Chain A
Amino acid sequence: MTALLDILGLTANYGDFQALFGVDLHLGAGETVAIIGANGAGKTTLMRAITGIVRAGGSITLDGKNITALPAPEVLMQGIAMVPEGRKLFASLSVEENLLIGAHARKGNGQWSVDAIYQLFPVLKDRRLAPGTALSGGQQQMVAIGRALMSNPRVLLCDEISLGLAPVVIRDIYAAVPRIKAAGTSIIVVEQDIGQALKIADRVYCMMEGRVTLTGTPATLSRDAIHNAYFGVSA
Chain B
Amino acid sequence: MTLLDTLVQGVLLGGLYALFAAGLSLVFGIMRLVNLAHGDLIVMAAYLILGVTSALGLNPFAAVLIAAPVMFAAGWLLQTYVLNRVLGEDILPPLLVTFGLSVVIQNGLLQGFSADSRKLAAGAIEAQSLALGPISVGVMPLLTLISAVVVIFALNRLFYRTALGRAFRATSDDAVTAQLMGIRPQSVFAIATGIAMVVATIAALYLGVRSNFDPSIGPARLLYAFEAVIIGGLGSLWGTLAGGIVIGVAQALGAVVNPEWQILSGHVAFVAVLLLRPRGLFPRAND
A50 CB to nearest B CB, Å: 11
A42 within 8 A of B: no
A100 within 8 A of B: yes
Give the interface size bracket for B toward A: 10 to 19
Is there contact, CB below 8 Å, between A104 and B173? no
Cα–Cα distance between A14 and B179 once the two chains are bound (Å)? 19
Q: Which residue of B lies closest to A97 (CB)?
A: B166
Majority DSSP secondary structure for residues of B touching A: helix
What B residues does A200 contact at CB under 8 A?
none
Is there contact, CB below 8 Å, between A104 and B286? no
Is there contact, CB below 8 Å, between B184 and A73? yes
Is there contact, CB below 8 Å, between A100 and B163? yes
A47 CB to nearest B CB, Å: 10
- Chain B 153-193, CB-CB to A under 8 Å as 1, else 0, gives 00000000001001101101110111111111000000000
A91 within 8 A of B: yes
Is there contact, CB below 8 Å, between B174 and A88? yes
Is there contact, CB below 8 Å, between B181 and A71? no
What B residues does A186 contact at CB under 8 A?
none
Cα–Cα distance between A53 and B185 once the two chains are bound (Å)? 13
Is there contact, CB below 8 Å, between A92 and B173? yes
Cα–Cα distance between A91 and B167 once the two chains are bound (Å)? 13
Most central of B169, B176, B180, B182 by chain A CB within 10 Å = B180
Most central of B170, B179, B182 by chain A CB within 10 Å = B182
B240 CB to nearest A CB, Å: 17
Interface residues in chain A, defined as those with a beta carbon under 8 Å from any beta carbon in chain B: 51-53, 71-73, 76-77, 81-82, 84, 88, 90-93, 97, 100-102, 104-106, 147-148, 151
10 contacts between A and B (CB under 8 A): A52-B179, A71-B184, A72-B179, A76-B181, A92-B170, A97-B166, A101-B178, A102-B181, A105-B183, A151-B181
